[in-house]
């Protein structure tokens, strides 16, 4: 029932090891590694993560940069007066006392939660709420930590630690108004929740509360982040998405885990005396959901924040040295980042496979969050400025800066053509090839099998030949839970359970969803600086995606020199992201009515503007007519990911978008009404042209 832990004191104020009893469900994650500490071996085994990080990828300096400074901020919470510090680590806290907004101690918090501080970091454009760790001398802290039974507290479809949730709720209620004011005054700043030990558990749940109550804070989801340093297990797997899996217990959905991407600070050389240079290993969560939200930093030989601060600082400086050495040849640097991205993706895949293999209940919740390796690849690609006039002037905020580096887009592409290419998008060739391979098998099944998903079935995910064209068939995977959608088709199609299909599609679609959000913001920026911040959250935050896997069978005879594989149409989406294989055949119609080839190019995705953006932008963006022609007797394959408004969305161009002196050219309309209009018109069905958004809601066409 109880487990003896060896822990260093919390907050780093007492330097001798002491022992503390913790319940099984709320283990503080003290994950030892490399044999550098010989205490409590059973604990590590039981946690199932003791030696796991050996195979994890190396963290990059860029992603790990905030950890040491954030640790210092947590340490500062222990100071009664930061102007006269008593416990400052080497080099000080690195904070400006004038930027401390408030500090609440045990008295202020009535023992409901450990002391915390709100700090406005103008240097890093961050609003930070930092919660200190468990104080061994405070009974009230134990009350918080021990207040949990298996399955006691449910939260948004999962389970969380009851005492920590209550503590998080207390902080949220006490501070959301302060935070909202800070957010309103500093709209470009990130909102960061951080804490150590018990405080890490509190902030992990506080982050979830903040995300679910964004309206109270007035902040978009992607501006909220959490660093949970040495977090206790505080949420069930479907919420936590940890890779530290306790395999035997995975089947119990009530069991709690430490959330998010994990960083282990590892001392490299085992069984030696003295300290060795630390390295940081990292692992992505199973689902990727919390990757932008919760980081979990597990120190390996010691739980104390003072140790984590020091070792993370040392590790960061080593990483930077390593990067500097590698900086000279840009190619090598890129390769290194690519290999890190690959390692991360392999490890992500392995974690996903493990979760699926073990059939974890609810392990496949929708994922619209991104992954770090995509950021890594993009950020260091060096493609940011040259040749892209679009982004030169627009890098005002750090987020914009990051997305700006991801893509090579020209705004005239959106406005004049409605089509553009993106590179550097983080979708690996390997992932597309896997889907291609699995799809080949799927489409090679006999028609009777595929028609079990056809227009007359209950699921209706398969469009057979002769509906859009004699050569075209497709399978649709719906969001937001792509895994479930793919699985329901897969279960009908394949006799044997084949989770690889759904897994791979889930991975692709969640990456696509993430990419769509980023691209949409870029498209808004292309309309005008600041439109992304002004409109994304209010207008586009309920967008959802679906994937269509398109298979074009090879025409047997090419009577003319080409046949139409998919007729001329516009997409009904806001934007579409298209992967096409090497066969070619996609064409877009120019203003002059000429068909222009959009040739495939390896590593490139095609993005096109859909009808909804054309209407929403009052024709500033163009939803171009396009089609697919088959010029060779070869099979063709493509993946079209459509990012769409929610059905009930009223599509109406904002006045700022229309611009002074310009006329509104569309009547406001409800999204689902337009979809119905297209569905119900024979010529508009399956996205054939004829009845477009102009015919439906265009003001001029009604005159
Ligand atoms: O297959 C292609 O390249 C294009 C497909 C497309 O336009 C669509 O699915 O809407
Ligand atoms: Fe299309």
DSSP notation for 570-586: --SSSEEEEEE-TT--E
Lowest pLDDT segment from 263-272, 475-484, 514-523: 263-272
Q: Is the dihedral of CA 26, 28, 29, 34 positive or negative?
A: negative
> What is the tens place of the pLDDT at every residue in 114-130?
999 999 999 999 999 99
Question: In whole angstroms, what is the distance from residue 227 CA to residue 204 CA?
Answer: 8
Q: Radius of gyration (Cα) for the chain, nearest Å?
A: 27
CATH class of 410-648: mainly beta
Alpha helices per DSSP H over 363-477: 372-379, 389-392, 398-406, 411-412, 429-443, 447-451
Asked whether 571 lines ligand 1 (CB < 6 A), one says yes
Closest residue to atom 3 of ligand 1, CA basis: 586
More confident residue, 143 or 408: 143
Asked whether 638 lines ligand 1 (CB < 6 A), one says yes
Residue 33 — very low, low, confident or very high, per pLDDT cuts 50/70/90? very low
Asked whether 524 lines ligand 1 (CB < 6 A), one says no
Asked whether 580 lines ligand 1 (CB < 6 A), one says yes
Lowest pLDDT segment from 163-177, 232-246, 411-425: 232-246
Asked whether 588 lines ligand 1 (CB < 6 A), one says no
> What is the tens place of the pLDDT at every residue in 615-659?
999 999 989 899 999 988 899 999 999 999 999 999 999 999 999
CB 311 within 8 A of CB 319: no
Q: What's the full length of the chain, in residues?
A: 703
CB 410 within 8 A of CB 389: yes
* Cα of 628 from ligand 1 centre, angstroms: 7
Residues 268-274: what's their mean pLDDT?
41
CA–chain centroid gap for 322, Å, is: 27
Whether residue 355 has pLDDT greater than 80: no
Count CA within 13 A, CB hemisphere, residue 683: 6
Compute how many other C-beta atoms are within 10 angstroms of the C-beta atom of residue 123: 10
* Cα of 627 from ligand 2 centre, angstroms: 7
Residues sharing a CB contact under 8 Å with residue 433, sequence separation 6 or more, in sequence order:
none
Burial of 401 (0-12, 13-18, 19+ CB in 10 A): middle
Query: Which sequence spans correspond to the domains of the chain?
Result: 59-242+255-323, 410-648
Substitution candidate for ligand 1 out of 552, 570, 586, 686 with most atoms within 8 A of CB: 586
Asked whether 687 lines ligand 1 (CB < 6 A), one says yes
Whether residue 39 has pLDDT greater than 50: no
Looking at the CA of residue 640, tell me the nearest atom of ligand 1: 9
Structure tokens at 648: 């009930």
Substitution candidate for ligand 1 out of 471, 476, 547, 550 with most atoms within 8 A of CB: 550
At what angle are helices 398-406 and 499-527 packed, to 10 degrees? 120
The bound ligand whose nearest atom lies closest to the alpha carbon of 629 is: 1
Closest residue to atom 10 of ligand 1, CA basis: 571
More confident residue, 260 or 278: 278
Residue 410 — very low, low, confident or very high, per pLDDT cuts 50/70/90? very low
CB 246 within 8 A of CB 236: no
User: Residue 228: what pLDDT?
Assistant: 82
Q: What is the pTM of this model?
A: 0.47
Asked whether 550 lines ligand 1 (CB < 6 A), one says yes
The string over 465-489, giving b where at least 16 C-beta atoms fall within 10 Å of a residue's C-beta and e elsewhere, is: eeebbebbbbbbbbbbbbbbbbbbb
Residues 55-61: what's their mean pLDDT?
69
Question: In whole angstroms, what is the distance from residue 274 CA to residue 293 CA?
Answer: 35
Closest residue to atom 9 of ligand 1, CA basis: 640
Residues sharing a CB contact under 8 Å with residue 673, sequence separation 6 or more, in sequence order:
696
Looking at the CA of residue 606, tell me the nearest atom of ligand 1: 3
Question: In whole angstroms, what is the distance from residue 40 CA to residue 391 CA?
Answer: 54
Classify 564 as helix, strand or coil.
strand
Structure tokens at 643: 């990012």
User: Residue 263: what pLDDT?
Assistant: 63
Residues 507-534: what's their mean pLDDT?
89
* Cα of 373 from ligand 2 centre, angstroms: 29
**Which CATH fold would you assign to the domain 59-242+255-323?**
Rossmann fold (3.40.50)
CB 482 within 8 A of CB 509: yes
User: Residue 670: what pLDDT?
Assistant: 94
Asked whether 578 lines ligand 1 (CB < 6 A), one says yes
Looking at the CA of residue 638, tell me the nearest atom of ligand 1: 1
Asked whether 640 lines ligand 1 (CB < 6 A), one says yes
Residue for token pair 């994922």: 367
Residue 364 — very low, low, confident or very high, per pLDDT cuts 50/70/90? very low
Question: In whole angstroms, what is the distance from residue 361 CA to residue 285 CA?
Answer: 16
User: Residue 308: what pLDDT?
Assistant: 79
Residue 338 — very low, low, confident or very high, per pLDDT cuts 50/70/90? low
User: Residue 412: what pLDDT?
Assistant: 52
What is the DSSP-derived secondary structure letter of residue 653? Answer: -
């Amino acid at each position: 029932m109880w487990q003896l832990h060896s822990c260093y004191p919390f907050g780093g104020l007492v330097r001798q090891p002491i022992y503390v009893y913790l319940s099984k469900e709320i283990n503080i994650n003290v994950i030892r590694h490399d044999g550098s500490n010989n205490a409590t071996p059973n604990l590590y085994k039981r946690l199932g993560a003791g030696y796991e990080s050996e195979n994890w990828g190396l963290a990059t300096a860029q992603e790990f940069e905030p950890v040491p400074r954030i640790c210092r901020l947590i340490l500062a919470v222990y100071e009664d007066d930061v102007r006269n510090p008593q416990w400052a680590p080497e080099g000080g806290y690195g904070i400006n006392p004038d930027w401390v907004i408030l500090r609440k101690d045990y008295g202020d918090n009535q023992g409901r939660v450990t002391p915390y501080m709100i700090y406005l970091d103008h240097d890093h454009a961050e609003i930070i709420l930092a919660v200190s760790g468990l104080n061994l001398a405070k009974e009230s802290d134990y009350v918080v930590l021990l207040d949990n039974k298996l399955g006691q507290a449910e939260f948004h479809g999962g389970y969380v630690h009851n005492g920590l949730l209550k503590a998080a709720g207390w902080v949220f209620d006490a501070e959301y108004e302060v935070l909202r004011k800070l957010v309103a005054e500093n709209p470009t700043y990130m909102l960061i929740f951080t804490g150590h030990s018990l405080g890490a558990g509190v902030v992990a749940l506080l982050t979830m509360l903040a995300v679910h109550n964004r309206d109270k804070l007035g902040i978009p989801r992607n501006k909220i982040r959490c660093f949970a340093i040495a977090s206790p297990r505080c949420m069930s797997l479907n919420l936590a998405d940890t890779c530290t899996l306790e395999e035997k217990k995975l089947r119990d959905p009530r069991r709690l885990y430490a959330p998010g991407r994990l960083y282990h600070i590892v001392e490299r050389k085992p069984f030696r005396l003295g300290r060795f240079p630390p390295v940081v290993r990292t692992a992505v969560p199973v689902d990727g959901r919390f990757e932008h939200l919760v980081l979990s930093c597990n120190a390996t030989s010691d739980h104390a924040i003072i140790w984590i601060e020091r070792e993370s600082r040392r590790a960061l400086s080593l990483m930077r040295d390593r990067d500097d050495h590698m900086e000279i040849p840009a190619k090598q640097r890129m390769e290194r980042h690519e290999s890190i991205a690959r390692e991360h993706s392999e490890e992500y895949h392995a974690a996903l496979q493990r979760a699926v293999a073990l059939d974890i209940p609810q392990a496949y919740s929708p994922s619209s969050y991104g992954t770090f390796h995509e950021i890594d690849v993009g950020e260091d690609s060096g493609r940011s400025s040259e040749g892209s006039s679009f982004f030169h002037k627009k890098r005002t905020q750090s987020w914009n800066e990051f997305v700006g580096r991801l893509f090579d887009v020209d705004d005239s592409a959106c406005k004049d053509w409605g089509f553009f290419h993106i590179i550097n998008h983080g979708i690996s060739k390997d992932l597309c090839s896997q889907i291609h391979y699995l799809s080949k098998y799927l489409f090679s099944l006999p028609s009777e099998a595929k028609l079990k998903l056809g227009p007359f079935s209950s699921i209706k995910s398969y469009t057979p030949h002769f509906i859009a064209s004699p050569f075209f068939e497709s399978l649709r995977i719906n969001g937001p839970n792509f895994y479930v959608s793919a699985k329901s088709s897969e279960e009908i199609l394949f006799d044997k359970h084949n989770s690889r299909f759904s897994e791979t599609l889930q991975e692709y679609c969640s990456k696509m969803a993430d990419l769509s959000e980023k691209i949409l913001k870029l498209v808004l920026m292309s309309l005008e600086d600041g439109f992304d911040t002004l409109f994304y959250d209010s207008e586009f935050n309920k967008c959802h995606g679906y994937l269509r896997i398109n298979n074009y069978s090879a025409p047997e005879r090419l009577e003319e020199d080409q046949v139409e594989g998919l007729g001329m149409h516009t997409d009904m989406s806001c934007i579409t992201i298209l992967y096409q294989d090497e066969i070619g055949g996609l064409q877009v119609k120019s203003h002059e009515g000429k068909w222009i080839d959009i040739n495939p190019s390896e590593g490139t995705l095609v993005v096109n503007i859909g009808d909804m953006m054309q209407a929403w932008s009052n024709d500033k963006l163009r939803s171009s007519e396009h089609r697919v022609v088959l010029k060779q007797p070869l099979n063709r394959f493509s993946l079209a990911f459509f990012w769409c408004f929610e059905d009930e969305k009223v599509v109406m161009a904002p006045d700022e978008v229309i611009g002074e002196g310009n006329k509104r050219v569309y009547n406001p309309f409800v999204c689902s009404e337009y979809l119905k209009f297209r569905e119900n018109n024979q010529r508009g069905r399956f996205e054939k042209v004829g009845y477009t958004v102009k015919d439906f809601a265009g003001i001029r066409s009604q005159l």
